[in-house]
Amino acid sequence: MKLETKHFGCIDIEEENIICFPEGLPGFEDTRKYVLLGKNDEESPFRWLQCVDRPDVAFAIIDPRLIKPDYVAHIESADIEILDIKEEDKALVYVILVVPEDITKMTANLKAPVIINPFNNMGKQVVLEKGDYGIKHYVFEELRKAGG
Q: For residues 15 and 77, which CB has a smaller minimum distance to other proteins in the complex?
A: 77
Residue 99 near other proteins by CB under 8 A = yes
Of the residues 59, 64, 73, 133, which one makes contact with other proteins according to CB under 8 A:
59
Exposure string over 10-42, b if 16+ CB within 10 A, otherwise e = eeebeeeebbbbeebbeebeeebbbbbbbeeee
Run of H or E residues at 48:
strand 46-51
Residue 131 near other proteins by CB under 8 A = no
Of the residues 74, 90, 105, 144, which one makes contact with other proteins according to CB under 8 A:
144
Distance CA 123, CA 141 (A): 29
CA 105 to chain centre: 19
Contacts of 26 (CB under 8 A, 6+ apart): 112, 125
The nearest distance, CB 112 to other proteins, in angstroms, is 5
Of the residues 40, 55, 111, 142, which one makes contact with other proteins according to CB under 8 A:
111
Binding mask 39-58 for other proteins (x = CB under 8 A): ----xxxx-x--------xx
Residue 74 near other proteins by CB under 8 A = no
